[in-house]
């Protein structure tokens, strides 16, 4: 069983507005970040949001929203919440970010295929040598994910773990995100394939 966690509880401080609710290609940034997971063999998709935030998401029974009361602590709190809700049947956790609206479905499908074929503990999607998302973690790493603190996410686990497989792909969407007005302007100049 593959469970995905879409981290969407950030403060959008550099944008000065809720970047996940911004319009893009007839939907929102977050909608486009979640949609590629639906074509892959993902059994559950947990969208972790800040309290009081409600977003329009694709209509699919696999999607559930989780409100993170500790979102001000940073990304680690969202990862911990997602891990606590995966359940013992989860074989892996796929971590995605809510501000990556250009991620392609075929990239998600291939990331899962490579993760399973390599039998690795961690798979990191990369574009032109730069690490991005999705990142897949084997269930045996859940205890380590549950111990994370602060806003660095799981970088420390990825950097220190020996069972990491880098998945090079030609999808800029694994690294392209929305942090500034300039990023959003750049996004709007593109079309969603």
pLDDT value for 13: 62
Domain of 29 in residue numbering reads as: 2-188
Q: Does 121 fall in a domain?
A: yes
pLDDT, tens digit, 9 for 90 and up, residues 60-111: 999 999 999 998 888 899 999 999 999 888 999 999 999 999 999 999 999 9
> Residue 47 — φ and ψ, nearest 5°?
-100, 110
pLDDT value for 12: 62
Q: Does 178 fall in a domain?
A: yes
pLDDT value for 11: 65
- The tokens for 78 are 């969202």
Alpha helices in the chain (DSSP H): 29-34, 75-84, 105-118, 142-146, 155-160, 181-188
Q: Does 193 fall in a domain?
A: no
Q: In the block, which residue shows the tokens 């990331």?
A: 111
Q: Does 34 fall in a domain?
A: yes
- The angle at the Cα of 111, spanning 78 to 187, to the nearest 5 degrees, equals 70
- The tokens for 109 are 């499908």
Strands ordered across the beta sheet of 63-67:
63-67, 44-49, 2-8, 92-97, 130-138, 122-127, 164-169
Q: State which residues of the chain have pLDDT below 70.
A: 11-14, 191-193
Q: Does 76 fall in a domain?
A: yes
Q: Does 64 fall in a domain?
A: yes
Q: Does 58 fall in a domain?
A: yes
Beta strand residue intervals within 20-139, DSSP E: 23-24, 27-28, 44-49, 63-67, 92-97, 122-127, 130-138
Write the burial class of residue 132 (CB in 10 Å: 0-12 exposed, 13-18 middle, 19+ buried). buried
Counted domains in the chain? 1
pLDDT value for 22: 93
pLDDT value for 150: 79
Q: Does 175 fall in a domain?
A: yes
What helix, strand, coil percent values describe the chain, rounded to 5?
A: 35, 25, 40
The CATH number of residue 98's host domain is: 3.90.550.10
Beta bridge partners of 65: 47
- The tokens for 131 are 């690490």
pLDDT value for 87: 86
């Amino acid at each position: 069983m593959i469970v995905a966690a879409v981290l969407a509880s950030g403060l959008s401080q550099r944008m000065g507005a809720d970047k996940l609710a911004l319009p893009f290609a007839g939907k929102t940034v977050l909608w486009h970040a979640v949609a590629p997971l639906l074509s892959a063999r993902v059994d559950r998709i947990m969208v972790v949001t800040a309290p009081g935030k409600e977003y329009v998401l694709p209509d699919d029974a696999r999607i559930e929203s989780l409100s993170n009361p500790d979102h001000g602590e940073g990304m680690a709190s969202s990862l911990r919440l997602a891990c606590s809700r995966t359940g013992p049947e989860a074989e892996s956790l796929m971590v995605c970010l809510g501000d990556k609206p250009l991620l392609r479905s075929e990239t998600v499908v291939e990331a899962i295929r490579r993760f399973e074929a390599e039998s690795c503990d961690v798979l990191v999607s990369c574009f032109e040598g730069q690490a991005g998302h999705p990142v897949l973690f084997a269930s045996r790493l859940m205890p380590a994910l549950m111990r994370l603190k602060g806003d660095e996410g799981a970088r420390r686990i990825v950097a220190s773990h020996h069972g990491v497989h880098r998945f090079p792909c030609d999808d800029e969407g694994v690294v392209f995100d929305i942090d500034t007005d300039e990023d959003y302007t750049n996004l709007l100049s593109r079309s969603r394939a």
